[in-house]
Structure 1
Amino acid sequence: MIVFRVEHNHHRLRRMQVHVCETRFERGRGLLLRRRLDSETAYLLPRCRAIHTIGMHYRIDVLFCDAEGRILSMRENLPPCRIARDPRAAQVWELDAGTIRRWGWSVGDRIRPC
């Protein structure tokens, strides 16, 4: 379990299990053939600007962040068989659908490990 800080209007700590997808295999597999994410799990793809939901059977939330973890853009409830990208991004977070709204994240917030 990784603890990370979300800088918003006030500081909050969130606890979430984060799977960091570093290898080509991990990045290629991503969420394919996996059961739906729960609200306490995220996939982090460093050095990434685009993701797809081809082959998935559920919606996800996506955060596109810069190298410092600042949220540049978001896609909420991205359905299966779609592509999402932000050419400015340095990392991408894949989350359970509804997480962005539930936790109140917005563009400009910053996510970083504590």
Structure 2
Amino acid sequence: MKTLSVDGVPVAQVEVAVSYAARSKGLLGRDGIATGLVLRPGSSVHTFGMRFAIDVVYVRRDGRVLAVAPMRPHRLGRPRLRSAWILETEAGRAAAWGIVPGRELGLA
């Protein structure tokens, strides 16, 4: 678990998936997630086989948010080639944490 911060303010503890197997599994098989999951590295996602809607946050190498995309189950997300990592969380949580394009995310 790592601490996710938005513009330097801690907002949540999140899981981090760095191995190929962990990134491939992602949130599949879960009924929800209490916080979030970071896929590092990552530039695209899908929600095939998922049971709930998510917010997908695409983040550049310097921590700046490129885009926030809500995704329903059974969808293929648009790749963001400048994305270095991705934060997946339940739908609506990105807005609750104040995550919008241009904000800076950090993991500690």
CA distance in 2, matches of 1:50, 1:109: 20
CA distance in 1, matches of 2:97, 2:4: 13
TM-score (norm 1): 0.84
Partner of 1:50, secondary structure, is: coil
Judge conservation of contact 2:11–2:97 (CA < 8 Å) in 1: no
Which residue does 1:89 correspond to in 2?
Answer: 83
Matches within 5 A, 1:25-36: 25-36=21-32
**Does 2:52 align with 1:55?**
no
Change (3 A) 1:20 1:86: same
Judge conservation of contact 1:68–1:112 (CA < 8 Å) in 2: no
CA distance in 1, matches of 2:94, 2:12: 14
Misfit runs of 4+, over 6 Å: none
Which residue does 1:3 correspond to in 2?
Answer: 3
Judge conservation of contact 1:43–1:93 (CA < 8 Å) in 2: yes
CA distance in 1, matches of 2:33, 2:2: 16
Please list every run of 5 or more consecutive structure 2 residues that lacks an aligned counterpart in the other structure: none
RMSD over equivalenced CA pairs, Å: 1.5
Q: Relative to total residues, which structure has the larger strand share, 1 or 2?
A: 1
Which residue does 1:19 correspond to in 2?
Answer: 15
Paired residue total? 107
TM-score (norm 2): 0.89
Which residue does 1:106 correspond to in 2?
Answer: 100
Higher Rg: 1
Deviation of 1:75 (Å) = 0.4
Q: Percent identity at matched positions?
A: 29
**Does 2:72 align with 1:79?**
yes
Please list every run of 5 or more consecutive structure 1 residues that lacks an aligned counterpart in the other structure: none
